[in-house]
Amino acid sequence: MTFTLAIVGRPNVGKSTLFNRLTGKRHALVDDMPGVTRDRREGDASLAGLEFKVFDTAGLEDAQEGSLAARMTAQTQSAIKDADVTLMVIDGRAGIMADDKHFAAILRKSRKPVLLAVNKAEGGKASATIAEAYSLGLGEPIAISAEHGEGLVDLYDVLAKFEGNDKGETPSEDAPLHLAIIGRPNVGKSTLINKMIGQERVLTGPEAGITRDSIAIDWTFEHSKIKLFDTAGMRKKSGIVQKVEKLAVADSLRAIQYAQVVILVIDAQAPLEKQDNTIAALVEQEGRAMVIAINKWDSVDDKPAYMKAIEKRLEIVLPQVKGVALVPISGKTGYNISALMKACFKAYAQWNREFRTAELNRWLEDALLVHTPPMVKGRRIKIRYITQKSTRPPTFILFSNTGDIPESYIRYLTNSMREVFSLPGVPIRIKIRKNKNPYAGFEPE
């Protein structure tokens, strides 16, 4: 095991559900009644290949000395002491409670790393709690749904930094890049991977659907660690009849969720079919960085005209990833694999970009002058301020006098941001918050 994680929080916030999710077994009893978990429970956890030990703990309570609740809390504090990392879980539906603030204050004094997860956040139900959670002083909150398995890729991104470290050491920054290869059946995904790593690692052939499981392969490209995921071909739902193929496609979807960068492989002989568009849209919805590889490039005659047509088609069918990198390759000969990998690293860097608040608000001021916000129900929209909430993908909070901003205007702001800050092909999230400007009187530097 590389490290130990203690899951802590108030009673009934979903700690045991998360414990079961991470261990892959129903080790811990789960019920709506608070206080089901009493003793510390240990298990071996696995998250996208990341192996670690996890403690499930009783709910932290400010209880009377000597009582059962106090003894349960003591067990929890013991788990925190024995763990390398602590994950405090709060209930995204209930909001920040007094006990949450109390125990966050205790955890802030700990000399060990503390992470914060907002549970029960499926479907955006916890957006208000997520915004409020910053006040706990435990860093950026991770939105998850332990019951539905949502947000685990973001949890992985944070936990991966602790891989391979002994107690008390600084988290490693040398975690491998998770790269998923996806596409329709028989576009050459497995052939490409074999050429990348220089061996016949995965089975290939002319038959569609040979790959069923998502195969994880450790690889090094120019001194950079990569974890490659070869996935099953993804056909449209109506074409999937066998149970094993349904399971294979579900496995491919999970690979996308755990990836940081996704290479969508398309066939130069049958480019950008409807299913290609559907898969690309799915990657964008998951917020992953993406590069499109045009395989079998050696079969194309008029290459400049072909590339121009592909770019034009993408602008129409996938405007949300405008400027996504298009790399012509040949999985069979290995042509342009180096350029493909460089495009992946560039996409990853853009996906992780952070922006200063001052430069964001300078851009916003110019954007509002170029295109004034429209009237909604006879009321002028006033956009006051913008700040970056997170990366992976770049996500921003826009403060306004109304939460009812037309989608067309959000698209305008997104496209303007993409152009000004050079974010080609990167998913951008702009979330609206109707609130008083907490930075009233702010002046950009």
pLDDT of residue 18 exceeding 80, the answer is yes
Cβ atoms of 132 and 143 within 8 Å: the answer is: no
| pLDDT score, position 174 | 66
pLDDT at 232 over 50: yes
Tell me the per-residue pLDDT of 344-358, one tens digit each, with 9 for 90 and over: 999 999 999 999 888
pLDDT tens-digit series, residues 116-127: 999 999 877 788
Positive or negative: CA dihedral 321, 323, 324, 329: positive
Give me the percent of the chain exceeding a pLDDT of 70.
Answer: 79
Task: Return the C-alpha torsion angle 79, 85, 91, 96, nearest 10.
Answer: 100
Q: What is the DSSP string of 253-264?
A: HHHHHH-SEEEE
Could you tell me the domains of the chain?
A: 4-162 (3.40.50.300), 177-351 (3.40.50.300), 357-434 (3.30.300.20)
pLDDT at 251: 59
* DSSP code of residue 374: P
Q: What is the pLDDT of residue 107?
A: 85
> pLDDT for 371-420, tens place per residue?
999 888 788 898 988 988 888 899 998 988 887 899 999 999 999 999 99
Report yes or no: 386 and 431 within 8 Å, Cβ to Cβ: no
Residue 110 has pLDDT above 90, yes or no: no
Label residue 234 by pLDDT band (50, 70, 90).
low
